[in-house]
């Protein structure tokens, strides 16, 4: 019975860790909050997690080129 309890705790901990570590972390919300712009100002669509193409608009490319500061 004790082994079953240990197994259940271990599986639960692994499940919690998996869910917690798979939450996507993106900077777009951070930049949107800092700049007051919508995400669609810079992105044509929300990029998938781990995507190499951020789907940037011309404004987004200028923002990226300007060290993530609003272009003048």
Whole-prediction pTM: 0.50
Amino acid 25: pLDDT: 47
Using the predicted structure, report yes or no on whether residue 5 has a pLDDT greater than 60. yes
Task: Please tell me which residue, 27 or 55, carries the higher pLDDT value.
Answer: 55
Two structure tokens written together for 24:
């996507």
Distance between CA atoms of residues 11 and 40, nearest Å: 40
Distance between CA atoms of residues 3 and 27, nearest Å: 43
- pLDDT tens per residue across span 37-58: 888 888 888 777 777 777 889 9
Distance between CA atoms of residues 34 and 20, nearest Å: 25
Rg (CA), the chain: 20
Lowest-confidence segment of 10-14, 23-27, 36-40, 49-53 by average pLDDT: 23-27
Domain boundary assignment for the chain: 2-65
């Amino acid at each position: 019975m004790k082994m079953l309890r240990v197994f259940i705790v271990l599986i639960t901990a692994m499940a919690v860790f998996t869910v917690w570590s798979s939450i996507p972390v993106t900077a777009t919300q951070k930049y949107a909050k800092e700049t007051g712009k919508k995400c669609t100002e810079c992105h044509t669509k929300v990029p998938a997690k781990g995507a190499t193409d951020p789907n940037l608009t011309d404004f987004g490319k200028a923002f990226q080129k300007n060290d993530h500061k609003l272009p003048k």
